Amino acid sequence: MKKFIFIALALLIAAEVIVLSVRFLPSKKSDPATTQASKPTEEEVSGASRVSHPIAAAPRGPAPNLPPETKGVIRSEFFGVEPLALDLSAPVFEQRGDGRILKTDVADQLKELNNPEQDPVEDIQILTSAIATYRQIFRENPIAGENREVVEALTGNNPYRMMFIDPAHPAINSSNELVDRWKVPYEFHPVSRDNMEIRSAGLDRQFGTGDDIMIEEPVQFGDPESFEENDQ
């Protein structure tokens, strides 16, 4: 009986170690749990879904304030969690001369940001998706208490120096903030490491009023039923 209990305990320990290893050890190739949620579709990898939009094609002014050199500080290192292992030679990663890497599929989606032909809630949806992709790669949201810090994280201030949005995107103002179609900076509200609420002040350009726009829960693309305007 005692022998049986000993064997059972040994198996339990082994199972525990395996579970913790899967959870905490850096992924060699990819994290299966994360990959399932973040695996780019074939269309995304090939770039076939890229679209051209008047905003993206519009003449651009001088480049806004670029983020500082990456600080090389990734807070997740304390938890033994490293960024998702990526094949940076894949088509969705475009090497830039300054050492940064543009994630083209997300950048292409963000070209639609503030497109006047689409519903404003879709802007929030696009940003939410971009933040979700950042989180899937770096295992946590951008460390950001301010809009500016979100922009810095999305334009290269991260361990891979990866850009998710073109720093010259017209939605980034001269203060390096992402603004909505009414030129008011979005409010990024870090609730937790995996939940970043994003709010637009809406047409009246005042936060806390009835026309504020936000998504209650993170959603995936193609699920328009999952978001609504905040009438609070």
Partner 1 sequence: MRNPNKKIEMSRRGFLARSACASMGVGGVVNTLAHMRLMEGALANTVSSISDYKAAIVLFHFGATDGNNMLMPGNGHPARNNYENNRGVLALPLSSPGGTNDPHPIVADNLASDPAAAAGAENFALHPELGDLKTLFDDGELAFAANVGTLVVPTTAATYNSVPLPPQLFSHSDQQNQWQSSIPDKPFQSGWSGRIADLLNPAWNEPDGKISMSVSLSGINDNQVSLLGDVPQYSVTNNGAISLNGYGTNYSNALSNASDPTSYNRNANGRRLKAFQDIMNYTHDHLFEENYNVVVRRARENEGFVGNAFTAADSWLHPSAVNNNGNPWGFIEGTFILQNGINPASGNALNNLPSLSRQLISIAKMIAGRNSLGNSRQLFFCSYGGHDTHQDQGGFSTGAGYVAGDLDDNMATLNNALKAFNDVMKALASEPTLGGDFNYNDFILASHSDFNRTFTPNGTVAGSSGSDHAWGTNVYMMGGDVRGKNVFGYYPDLNPTGTWTTPGSSRGRWVPSSAVEQFSAPIAKWLGIADTEIGTIFPNLERFADPFTAGYDPTDFDSILANANMDWITGI
Q: Which residues bind partner 1 (CB under 8 A)?
A: 9, 12-13, 16-17, 20, 24, 68, 71, 73, 75-79, 140-141, 143-146, 148-149, 187, 189-193, 195, 206-208
The C-alpha atoms of residue 142 and residue 186 are separated, in whole angstroms, by: 15
- Residue 101 bridge partners (DSSP): 95, 162
Q: Which is nearer to partner 1, 94 or 187 (CB)?
A: 187
- CB of 231 vs partner 1, minimal distance in Å: 15
Give yes or no for a contact between 151 and 178, defined as CB atoms under 8 angstroms apart.
yes
Q: Which tokens go with 152?
A: 């810095």
- CB of 221 vs partner 1, minimal distance in Å: 25
Q: Which is nearer to partner 1, 104 or 141 (CB)?
A: 141
Question: Long-range contacts of range 212-219, CB-CB < 8 Å, 24 or more positions apart?
Answer: 213/120, 213/121, 213/123, 213/124, 213/180, 214/124, 215/121, 215/124, 215/125, 215/128, 218/128, 218/132, 219/125, 219/128
Q: Which is nearer to partner 1, 39 or 189 (CB)?
A: 189
Q: Which is nearer to partner 1, 14 or 90 (CB)?
A: 14
- CB of 135 vs partner 1, minimal distance in Å: 11
The C-alpha atoms of residue 12 and residue 34 are separated, in whole angstroms, by: 25
- Where are the extended beta strands (E) located within 30-177? 93-95, 101-103, 162-163
- CB of 227 vs partner 1, minimal distance in Å: 20
Question: Long-range contacts of range 200-204, CB-CB < 8 Å, 24 or more positions apart?
Answer: 200/120, 200/123, 200/124, 202/120
Type and span of the H or E element at 191: strand 187-192
- CB of 224 vs partner 1, minimal distance in Å: 27
- CB of 67 vs partner 1, minimal distance in Å: 10
Q: Which is nearer to partner 1, 97 or 208 (CB)?
A: 208
The C-alpha atoms of residue 102 and residue 125 are separated, in whole angstroms, by: 20
- CB of 213 vs partner 1, minimal distance in Å: 14
Q: Which is nearer to partner 1, 89 or 232 (CB)?
A: 232
Q: Which is nearer to partner 1, 29 or 71 (CB)?
A: 71
